[in-house]
A and B are shown apart, each in its own frame.
Chain A
Amino acid sequence: MGEPTPSSRSVMGEPTTDGRFGEFGGRFVPETLVAACEELEAAFREAWADPAFVAEFETTLRDYGGRPSPLTECRNLSSQLGLRLLVKREDLNHTGSHKINNVIGQALLAQRMGKTRLVAETGAGQHGVATATAAALLGMECKVYMGAVDVDRQALNVFRMRLLGSEVESVQSGSRTLKDAVNEALRDWVATVENTHYCLGSVMGPHPYPWMVRTFHHILGDEAAAQCKDLTGGDPDVVVACVGGGSNAAGIFSGFADGDARLVGVEPAGGAAVGRGVPGVVHGMTSYLMQDEVGQVMEAESISAGLDYPGVGPEHAYLAAIGRAEYPSVTDDEVVEAFTLMSRAEGIIPALECAHALAWIVRAAPEMQGQTVLMNLSGRGDKDVDQMMDVLGMHGLSE
């Protein structure tokens, strides 16, 4: 274990040299991949210290990705809920979610490292689409692993990835969802590490991924903090984001972690790693993990493919352990109601993932009367309308 974080440093600062956030994190990968993780860390440190790389990253996100994303004040929901609701519009980014930030960063880094091929896992397909997009932009080969269950419920995103020139492999092993897609992407990387970069989609996996991915998403937290200040004169009272692996939450939390805002990461009831998990080790990291009584990893089950993950990023485990952030969970029914509510009240169809964040805000509104609540709207709901048509019926009516 490395040194504890000095109090003068940021709550969401750099992990220790052995990749720990408190007791969480690390580099629990097969020996074959240890050197690749070390090489990646060195390359990331070197690139991030190079103003030319940072400028290329920021310029690409601006001119290609559409940054900065706006901050929208939701007047109708605010008056309904008795609070001031601001949403960070990551749904308006190119490819429809926050995922593009991380993917542009990693793809530029992979190219700088001389890698010619990207592999990625995807749940809902948002990270897969973003990776396929970056691969097309930079002329790299790309293969995306997606659980067979998710391939069925996210057919449009599968087609998008193929349209963008990527290969999509339907993963038949295990629970056939996101965790199995991660396993399969790792198996690919073990065999192809010499020319391939694993473009991991969340703040999880072995060091340096949790730190690097959060760093690439820091831009959205910084933007949101500046936008909040312009609009309200200060930080919000509460910052809310959904959490599967936790990348969009890490991005927005990083803009506020050193202030006084309450940080809330909302998990699905069927994938509540912080809420129901115990420390475990899978996918290269020590973190909270849903597992059975002997340590077999449990299958997450949620209405949203993007949050169907039994683990959580190690920095979130750390933020929970030190009490800086809280991680409540919401049920699928609450999510469906929030999905409909936002569509009707604001004319914004949210991704099912971020409908989790709104579902918690609706539930907790009575205790947040008059407060300013910032929610990260991490993705748009276009990908979910087909599935929601089955849930709600043709007329979109919820009973």
Chain B
Amino acid sequence: MSEASPADRAGTLGALETHLRARRDSGAKLLVPYVTGGYQGWQRAVEAAAAAGADAIEIGIPFSDPVIDGPVIQQASTAALAGGATPASVLEEARELDTGIPHAAMTYYNLCHHQGHERFASALLEAGVSAAILPDLPYIEAGPWLEAAASGGIEAILLAAPTTPDHRLAQLCEASRGFVYAIGLLGVTGERKALASTATEIAARCKAVTHRPVLTGVGIGSPQQAVEACEVADGVAVGSAVVRTLMSDGPEAVGELVASYRTALDHG
């Protein structure tokens, strides 16, 4: 565990974690939708999601080889790249957003590695992005990025998996910033018919070792599943359902979808 006292740590909390802790401590369940940056209408989708009650937004920066993504997000990434999206263009567009809630970038490590950790962190900061999720950079390899992110003012969110052993889970939850992303199942992003039993198990294991907000993501396919997940977790990250709606029905429909999750979480 960290050498810093809880009070010291609280003093260094970033914008995202501060916001999520406050919302959680007020009794709310946290809702963080994911939108593929650069996809047609993505900015309006983000604004609609924020207006519908999202607590923060994950902005996907499309990568050529999205190895942890299922078909829906792959398709959106491919379309965004074909439309000319680059990390710079997505961040430039992100900077224009005014949602009133924190933004987290979600992308793959090579885009960060290629630009250089420090430059990547400062590019996020300039775009008004508070945090970053790099799902193919596991905790055991994340050291240099965690350092650069911390000194660059970016909250580096780490992912915990059902297969993560206990000793690493505690370290990982301690090192994570913003929140702990609990991967709900063994598999890639995408909606499933039912919530996996692993979703509540991993959330419970994380909650047992950290005070940080624990959000379950991967495999949350309906408002009802979000409610189930939140029986243990502090909140949910919802990706494929949002992106599928954006692709089939456009940005305004994303607002309606997010509102349905918000309502379920508030009253479920």
Binding site for B on A (CB under 8 A): 18, 26-36, 173-174, 179-180, 183, 186-187, 190-194, 278-283, 286, 289, 291, 294-297
A382 to B82, CA, bound (A): 37
A168 to B67, CA, bound (A): 19
Least distance between A170 CB and chain B CB atoms (Å):
14
A362 to B105, CA, bound (A): 51
Least distance between B143 CB and chain A CB atoms (Å):
10
Residues of A within 8 A of B111 (CB): 294-296
Q: Which of B21-29, B180-188, B208-216 touches A?
A: B180-188
Cβ B78 vs Cβ A173 within 8 A: yes
In this complex, what residue of A is CB-closest to B88? A294
Residues of A within 8 A of B68 (CB): 30, 187, 190
Least distance between A393 CB and chain B CB atoms (Å):
36
Cβ B65 vs Cβ A31 within 8 A: no
Cβ A28 vs Cβ B136 within 8 A: yes
List residues 171-201 of chain B with CB under 8 A from any CB of chain A: 172, 183, 185-188
In this complex, what residue of A is CB-closest to B86? A294
For B74, B113, B135, B168, which residue has the most chain A Cβ atoms within 10 angstroms? B113
Q: Which of B12-20, B40-48, B157-165, B255-263 touches A?
A: B157-165
Give 29 A-B contacts (CB < 8 Å), ordered by A residue: A18-B140, A27-B141, A28-B137, A28-B138, A29-B138, A30-B67, A30-B135, A30-B161, A31-B138, A31-B164, A34-B163, A35-B165, A36-B163, A174-B78, A183-B66, A187-B70, A190-B187, A191-B187, A278-B114, A282-B110, A286-B113, A289-B110, A291-B110, A295-B87, A295-B113, A295-B114, A295-B115, A296-B81, A297-B64
Cβ A280 vs Cβ B165 within 8 A: no
In this complex, what residue of B is CB-closest to A284? B136
Least distance between B110 CB and chain A CB atoms (Å):
5
- Contacts A281-B109, A281-B110, A296-B63: A30 and B159 contacting too (C-beta < 8 A)? yes
A340 to B65, CA, bound (A): 36
Residues of B within 8 A of A26 (CB): 141
Does B39 make an interface contact (CB < 8 A)? Answer: no
Cβ B186 vs Cβ A193 within 8 A: yes
Does B34 make an interface contact (CB < 8 A)? Answer: no
For A32, A180, A283, which residue has the most chain B Cβ atoms within 10 angstroms? A32
A279 to B135, CA, bound (A): 19
Cβ A291 vs Cβ B114 within 8 A: yes
List residues 64-111 of chain B with CB under 8 A from any CB of chain A: 64-68, 70, 74, 78, 81, 86-88, 109-111
Least distance between A299 CB and chain B CB atoms (Å):
9
Cβ A32 vs Cβ B110 within 8 A: no
How many interface residues does B have (CB within 8 Å)? 41
A26 to B136, CA, bound (A): 12
Residues of A within 8 A of B66 (CB): 183
A295 to B116, CA, bound (A): 11
Cβ A282 vs Cβ B65 within 8 A: yes
A161 to B175, CA, bound (A): 45
- Contacts A173-B74, A190-B68, A281-B113: A31 and B183 contacting too (C-beta < 8 A)? yes
Cβ B110 vs Cβ A295 within 8 A: yes
Least distance between A20 CB and chain B CB atoms (Å):
11
Cβ A187 vs Cβ B186 within 8 A: no
Residues of A within 8 A of B110 (CB): 280-282, 289, 291, 295, 297
A378 to B128, CA, bound (A): 53
Least distance between A143 CB and chain B CB atoms (Å):
15
In this complex, what residue of A is CB-closest to B168? A34
In this complex, what residue of B is CB-closest to A278? B114
A117 to B66, CA, bound (A): 24
Contact of B161 among A32, A294, A297 (CB under 8 A): A32
In this complex, what residue of A is CB-closest to B62? A296
A174 to B71, CA, bound (A): 11
A28 to B113, CA, bound (A): 12
Residues of B within 8 A of A32 (CB): 161-163, 183, 186
A174 to B188, CA, bound (A): 17
Residues of A within 8 A of B141 (CB): 26-28
A245 to B250, CA, bound (A): 41
A297 to B114, CA, bound (A): 11
Contact of A194 among B86, B109, B186 (CB under 8 A): B186
A183 to B70, CA, bound (A): 11
3 closest residue pairs by CB, A with B: A295-B114, A191-B187, A32-B161
A258 to B139, CA, bound (A): 35
Least distance between B78 CB and chain A CB atoms (Å):
7
Residues of B within 8 A of A33 (CB): 163
Residues of B within 8 A of A183 (CB): 65-67
A33 to B185, CA, bound (A): 12
In this complex, what residue of A is CB-closest to B107? A295
A28 to B139, CA, bound (A): 9
Residues of A within 8 A of B188 (CB): 187, 190-191
In this complex, what residue of A is CB-closest to B70? A187
Residues of B within 8 A of A280 (CB): 110, 113-114
Residues of B within 8 A of A173 (CB): 74, 78
Contact of A34 among B65, B74, B81, B164 (CB under 8 A): B164
Residues of A within 8 A of B67 (CB): 30, 183, 186-187, 283
Least distance between B146 CB and chain A CB atoms (Å):
14
Cβ B138 vs Cβ A296 within 8 A: no
Cβ A29 vs Cβ B186 within 8 A: no
A289 to B68, CA, bound (A): 20
Cβ B164 vs Cβ A35 within 8 A: yes
- Contacts A35-B164, A174-B65, A297-B64: A30 and B138 contacting too (C-beta < 8 A)? yes
Cβ B140 vs Cβ A192 within 8 A: no
